[in-house]
Amino acid sequence: MIELKHIDKRYDGVVALNRADLNIEQGKLVVLIGPSGCGKSTLLRVVNRMVEPSAGQILIGGKDALDLDPVLLRRSIGYVIQSGGLFPHLTVRENVAVVPQLLGWDKARRLRRADEVLALVQLEPQRYGARYPKELSGGQQQRVGIARALAADPAVLLMDEPFSALDPISREQLQDELLRIQRDVRKTIVFVTHDIDEAIRLGDKICLMRDGAVVQYAEPDVLLRQPADAFAALFIGQEPELKRLARHSVADFMRRAGTGAGGRVGGALAAGAAGAERVALHTSARAALSKLLGGQAELVVVDGAGEAVGHLVLADFALTP
């Protein structure tokens, strides 16, 4: 879907990108990660030509992006930055409708669409549509930023550290939201972060960069288990297996209630469940393991819609789902 070939970018003397290569498949969420100044934002902005490369080729859907009108190209690609980047003098609804307006949609259509995408990011249009950005929390502003990027239904979404300024709880909520939205809309997403946990949680693939070049481009499990070199290993940091667990929900590992022949699962549950910690189905396997280790029982019970739908014992976390 997006092919970046041998991209160079120099700013008199500074090499921002050095023969960077990246292939992004349609419908995938690819995370660019690496230390500050390694060229993540520059590579992201090459995709919609907010940065013009010094050399190299950009193909989007097989078309050479350097042949396209940069203004039209930019309008056809959603872009989300840190701290929303919302226009302070426009209401939430007007902010979301900015690109549809540039594209010449009539008013009724763009307001209808604005309300549709606001609902998609879980902001009730009736309640929030007429507010101004300063009347929203940081997390809500980021939701509006995502809604705005989705408004004209672009095939590609670029996100540059969109959650970096948020507190840890809002950040985790927004990560969940993004994954949920992505299951619905299946955009091709390029997402920049410097946080390895965020990268592992969100990425279908992770592109690790250093000094303007790609060090390793791989699925999170592969990056964690087989870092390409000492720099990659250092960047991933301690406890790669725990980081791997963070990517999976307990649903991937649990023993399902009622699936054991002759009530084996049910029996085990009844025997060991007294005082067991309970977690929700979407809880990360890492968080559930932490609960298990900190709890009194030898299993954790998984709740779905108010009833126990499964459980996990310590050995279950060693399985590769």
Ligand X SMILES: Nc1ncnc2c1ncn2[C@@H]1O[C@H](COP(=O)(O)OP(=O)(O)O)[C@@H](O)[C@H]1O
User: Shortest gap between Cβ of 165 and ligand X (angstroms)?
Assistant: 15
User: Shortest gap between Cβ of 9 and ligand X (angstroms)?
Assistant: 7
- Does the footprint of Mg ion cover residue 41 (CB under 5 A)? yes
- Does the footprint of ligand X cover residue 296 (CB under 6 A)? no
Please list every residue from 12 through 71 that binds ligand X, using CB under 6 A.
14, 16, 34, 36-42
User: Shortest gap between Cβ of 36 and ligand X (angstroms)?
Assistant: 5
Number of chain positions touching ligand X (CB under 6 A): 11
Instruction: Choose among ligand X, Mg ion, none what residue 87 binds, the Cβ cut-off being 5 to 8 Å by kind.
Output: none
- Does the footprint of Mg ion cover residue 42 (CB under 5 A)? no
Instruction: Choose among Mg ion, ligand X, none what residue 39 binds, the Cβ cut-off being 5 to 8 Å by kind.
Output: ligand X
Q: Which residue is nearest to Mg ion (CB)?
A: 41
Position among 6, 11, 64, 176 found at the interface with ligand X (CB under 6 A): 11
Residues 6 or more apart in contact with residue 112 via CB below 8 angstroms: none
CA distance 255 to 228: 34
User: Shortest gap between Cβ of 80 and ligand X (angstroms)?
Assistant: 15
Instruction: Choose among Mg ion, ligand X, none what residue 16 binds, the Cβ cut-off being 5 to 8 Å by kind.
Output: ligand X
- Does the footprint of ligand X cover residue 286 (CB under 6 A)? no
Residue among 85, 12, 265, 64 nearest 96 (CA): 85
Asked if 74 contacts 49 with a C-beta cutoff of 8 angstroms, the reply is yes
Instruction: Choose among Mg ion, ligand X, none what residue 315 binds, the Cβ cut-off being 5 to 8 Å by kind.
Output: none
CA distance 124 to 127: 5
Nearer to ligand X, 142 or 193 (CB): 193
- Does the footprint of ligand X cover residue 193 (CB under 6 A)? no
Instruction: Choose among ligand X, Mg ion, none what residue 38 binds, the Cβ cut-off being 5 to 8 Å by kind.
Output: ligand X
CA distance 113 to 107: 10
User: Shortest gap between Cβ of 264 and Mg ion (angstroms)?
Assistant: 52
Backbone angles phi, psi at 133, to 5 degrees: -50, -40
Instruction: Choose among ligand X, Mg ion, none what residue 145 binds, the Cβ cut-off being 5 to 8 Å by kind.
Output: none
User: Shortest gap between Cβ of 208 and ligand X (angstroms)?
Assistant: 11
Binding site for ligand X (CB under 6 A): 11, 14, 16, 34, 36-42
Residues that bind Mg ion (CB under 5 A): 41
